[in-house]
């Protein structure tokens, strides 16, 4: 499928951060050196008003991507085309470089859980999700990226390994993957997910963006709270992935206990430094005679 968001898959976007309203005035005043911002689309989806205006003004200065939480891709409810219509309008208005949502379900019987609920990894769920993504992409007129979610349980009747499920969805629906490396680590701690096996097997040809975020240690489990700096173990997994594919945009997410912009910016610079270090290692060393 043709994609008018195709430029995100190239090396034009380096490291960005999620746009959060407490930072907007500061960003528009100082125009900090960042490659792009990710808009949490649902915050800006209503036409008119200050939140929409913020998105438009940021898009006048920076490339933006759009991240949705409302498609409920895995649900058995009908696809919400009213919601998709608003998403499409915003996408055109801000000229988004990528449009993404989660490989999960959020609604049941028109009730919204306001949570990203995990899917069972079965052939039945695979066919169901692929069919819905194809129809969503047909309506939007472009590919979307689907994100692996964090979870606190697994289903006994899953028959497919998660990474295989994600790859199959992307290949069969011809969509892209938004690979959240923090979610992978959270699932490793909570559910025993094998991190390096996942990193080695994910279909890098379809990974169009990476997410990094902080989690909260609850002793019995870790909560994907997006309220802290990125954990050292997640940075290590990030570096490992970049050795497989480096020309992929990286996004720092921070949604709760939002810090001063400088803290978020420092996290983005850390991601830049890791990328730059790996690129330097790839440069050929010439002997001087």
- The backbone torsions φ and ψ at residue 108, rounded to the nearest 5 degrees and listed phi first, read -145, 125
Q: Is 180 in the site for Fe ion (CB under 5 A)?
A: yes
Q: Which is nearer to Fe ion, 211 or 275 (CB)?
A: 211
SS (H, E, C) 90-129: HHHHHCCCCEEEECCEEEECCEEEEEEECCCCCHHHHHHH
- Span of 20-28, 204-212, 259-267, 275-283 interacting with Fe ion by CB under 5 A: 204-212
CB of 200 vs Fe ion, minimal distance in Å: 21
Size of the site for Fe ion (CB under 5 A): 2
Structure tokens at 21: 């309203």
Of residues 210-239, which lie at the interface with Fe ion (CB under 5 A)?
Answer: 211
Q: In angstroms, what is the minimal distance from the CB of 147 to Fe ion? A: 5
d(CA 249, CA 18) in angstroms, rounded, equals 13
Q: Which is nearer to Fe ion, 44 or 211 (CB)?
A: 211
How many whole angstroms separate alpha carbon 181 and alpha carbon 204?
13
Q: Which of 153, 234, 162, 260 is nearest to 202 (CA)?
A: 162
Judged by CB under 5 A, the stretch of 115-123, 150-158, 185-193, 207-215 that binds Fe ion is 207-215
Determine if 267 is a binding residue for Fe ion (CB under 5 A).
no
38 binds Fe ion, rule: CB under 5 A:
no
CB of 226 to Fe ion, least distance (A): 8
Supply 242's token pair.
């970049």
- Shortest approach of Fe ion to residue 269 CB, angstroms? 20
**Looking at beta carbons only, is 62 or 254 nearer to Fe ion?**
254
Please enumerate in sequence order all residues whose Cβ is within 8 A of that of 244, keeping only pairs 6 or more positions apart, or say none.
Answer: 199, 200, 204
Nearer to Fe ion, 162 or 180 (CB): 180
The interface region with Fe ion, picked from 1-9, 52-60, 180-188, 201-209 by CB under 5 A, is 180-188
In whole angstroms, give the CA distance from residue 81 to residue 56: 23
Q: How near is the Cβ of 213 to Fe ion at its closest, in Å?
A: 6
- Binding residues for Fe ion, per CB under 5 A? 180, 211
């Amino acid at each position: 499928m043709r994609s008018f968001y195709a430029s995100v898959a190239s090396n034009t976007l380096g490291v960005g951060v999620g746009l959060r309203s407490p930072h907007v005035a500061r960003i528009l005043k100082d125009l900090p050196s960042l490659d792009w911002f990710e808009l949490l689309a649902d915050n800006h989806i209503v036409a008119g008003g200050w939140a929409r205006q913020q998105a438009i003004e940021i898009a006048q200065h920076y490339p933006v991507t759009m991240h949705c939480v409302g498609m409920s891709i895995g649900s058995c409810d009908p696809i919400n085309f009213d919601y998709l219509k608003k998403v499409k309008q915003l996408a055109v208005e801000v000229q988004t470089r990528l449009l993404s949502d989660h490989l999960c379900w959020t609604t049941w019987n028109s009730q919204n859980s306001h949570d990203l609920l995990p899917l069972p990894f079965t052939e039945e769920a695979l066919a169901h999700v692929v069919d819905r993504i194809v129809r969503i992409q047909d309506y939007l007129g472009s590919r979307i990226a689907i994100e692996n979610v964090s979870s606190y349980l697994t289903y006994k009747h899953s028959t497919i390994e998660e990474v295989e499920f994600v790859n199959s969805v992307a290949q069969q629906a011809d969509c892209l993957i938004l690979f959240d490396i923090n979610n992978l680590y959270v699932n490793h701690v909570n559910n025993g997910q094998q991190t390096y096996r996942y990193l080695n097997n994910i279909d890098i040809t379809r990974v169009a963006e990476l997410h990094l975020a902080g989690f909260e240690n609850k002793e019995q489990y870790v909560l994907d709270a997006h309220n802290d700096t990125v954990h050292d173990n997640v940075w290590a997994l990030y570096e490992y992935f970049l050795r497989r594919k480096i020309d992929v945009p990286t996004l720092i997410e921070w949604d709760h206990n939002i810090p001063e912009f400088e803290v978020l910016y420092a996290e983005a610079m850390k991601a830049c430094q890791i990328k730059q270090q790996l690129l330097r290692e790839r440069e050929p060393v010439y002997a001087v005679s």
